[in-house]
Chain A
Amino acid sequence: MFSFTKKQEVFDISGIKIGGQPGEYPTVLLGGVFFKGEPNFKREKENIQNMLGLSKKTGNPAIPDFFIRKKEYVEEIVDFIEQVLPKKHPFSIDIIEPSVKIETLEYLDKKHLLKRTIYNSIHIGITKEELEALKRYKPEMAILVAFNPKDKSPDGKIEVLENGAHLIDKGLLATAEEIGIKKILIDTASLAPGENSGASIAAIPVIKEEYGFPTGCAIHNVVEKSKWLNNYFESARKTVDASSNMDIVLFGGDYAIYGPLENADLVFPMIAWQDILISEYTENYFGVKPAENHPRRKFF
């Protein structure tokens, strides 16, 4: 359980605060919507409501992370976001294809939803067109993924943030500055087992002390890619998947992108529990007061 010397930034998006010293704000949990296959709106509406209910019970803020894979889904999914989420509730959009990213930004702007949007994500694959679209339709917050294919260590992740590791012309931090996004979350890029997957956890305290920005990752991706777990421990897979998020919290992280919404029932109490343990220690030893909505307050 840590406390950082560097001043820790806290960013607010539509009333949800992310960042700070360990034990200060509850861990923010981002759950994947339309994680696999074709969008099932009815099922995901129920899953989102379940996640929001768990958030109310535990105190951990819930942010749905919407996967948009095809252009033809853009309007349908954005309209769904508008209908299904409480007014002003923030959300993130998780898109790989640059052209789909651009079209989604345009439509979010048209619907006046950019103030509630976390852009997931900016990485070294950013195209010129995407950069220009981000300048025109600026989301409130963006996740910078510190993926460096040539050096997966914490140093390599910092290199990508600083100077783009010479894979692109400038670092991801400078790119965010160029766009004009001030609220940034650092994602330490969890990779498959065998690809220094633990580095995404070790990098959390390193990056928080270096920059003070809210930091986390999608450590769930490591479990998702494990053939070993799938082949030999199928029955334990979901538990391992959900519990892997605890590593983020214990290493001082601020948010977890925890995978499909179906895991929420396991993830929320697990993370709330870690938040409580951390808060008990950091208040006693470092004097960090938990925020009003902190899970520990639920036990007072």
Chain B
Amino acid sequence: MENEYYPWGGEFTVCKPNGCIAVVLLQIDYIPPANVAIFGPLKTENIGVEKIVANVISNPHIRYLLVCGDDIRGHRSGSSLVALHRYGIDKQHKIIDAPGAIPYIENLKTEALERFQAQIEIIDLIGVKDKKTIDNAIKEYNMRSPPSYGESYIAIRIKPDVPTKLDDKRALHSKIVVHYMGKIEKREG
């Protein structure tokens, strides 16, 4: 069951496949109870946030995203994740009002972000490290037993188009030519 979810990989632990809570850990040494769907750390305010969004929307049973612990100085990845859910992104794909250093979402389509906003409710416990408080929040939200959001949403990772051909003789990269014995030259055209 769990293999059909979480297509973007990452540093996380899968627990109960139909659990309704995903837990994001920010600099906190804490293992949530086994009845959550998934938990793991968040480090970066761009790629890390993207992975969390893509993975939680792949499992429609997840309806709550609990963010706890101390936000990482400079990166402010937890607060950037909360800002993404609240405000979305601007035309330059920057998370609106995110406090992180480089809070850009570049590999997810708008549809995936809208799904994240619709499917998920954020439980903002940033700054909270007390395990009992977090346990109690998990218990409380678990008791709400929200319905599944429906179908799984598998987010496609946006990748730049890099055309290659079988007769491609480029060594290393299209911008340079590596000549016999190692002389490098910029490729013309």
Contacts of A260 in B (CB 8 A): none
Q: Assess whether B160 is in contact with A156, with CB atoms less than 8 Å apart.
A: yes
What sequence of 0s and 1s flags, for each residue 203-239 of chain A, a beta carbon within 8 Å of any chain B beta carbon?
Answer: 1011011100000000000000101000000000000
Main secondary structure of the interface of B (DSSP, over half): loop
- Report which of A2, A70, A154, A210 forms a contact with B182, defined as CB distance below 8 A: A2
Partner of A202 from the list B100, B162, B172 (CB cut-off 8 Å) is B172
The answer to whether A167 and B104 have CB atoms under 8 Å apart is yes
Residue of A nearest to B73 (CB): A69
The tally of residues in B whose CB lies under 8 Å from a CB in A reads 33
B74 near A285 with CB under 8 A, answer: no
Stretch at the interface among A42-50, A190-198, A263-271: A190-198
- Report whether A210 and B160 are in contact in the complex, using a CB–CB cutoff of 8 Å: no
Known: A149-B106, A167-B93. A209 touches B176 (CB 8 A): yes
Within 8 A of A (CB), among B140-162: 158, 160, 162
Q: Which of B50-90 contact A (CB under 8 A)?
A: 73-75
Q: Determine the distance from Cα of A208 to Cα of B178 in the docked complex, in whole angstroms.
A: 13
Would you call B9 and A194 a contact (CB within 8 A)?
Answer: yes
Please tell me if the beta carbons of A3 and B104 are within 8 angstroms of each other in the complex: no
Which of B74, B105, B175, B185 interacts with A96 by CB under 8 Å? B74
Of the candidates B92, B162, B184, the one whose C-beta lies within 8 Å of that of A4 is: B184
The verdict on A1 contacting B182 (CB below 8 Å), with A97-B73, A206-B173, A209-B175 known, is yes
A138 within 8 A of B: no
| Binary per-residue interface labels of chain A (173-195) against chain B in the complex, 1 for a CB within 8 Å, 0 otherwise | 00000000000000000011011
Residues of A within 8 A of B (CB): 1-6, 69-70, 95-98, 100, 123-125, 147, 149-151, 153-156, 158, 166-168, 191-192, 194-195, 202-203, 205-206, 208-210, 225, 227, 252, 281, 285-286
Show 18 A/B contacts (Cβ-Cβ < 8 Å), sorted by A. A2-B178, A2-B182, A2-B183, A3-B184, A5-B183, A5-B186, A96-B73, A125-B103, A149-B102, A149-B105, A150-B106, A151-B160, A167-B92, A167-B94, A202-B173, A205-B176, A209-B186, A210-B175
Given contacts A96-B75, A150-B107, 12 further A-B pairs with CB under 8 A are A5-B186, A95-B74, A97-B74, A149-B93, A150-B106, A150-B158, A150-B160, A167-B94, A191-B47, A205-B178, A206-B172, A225-B43
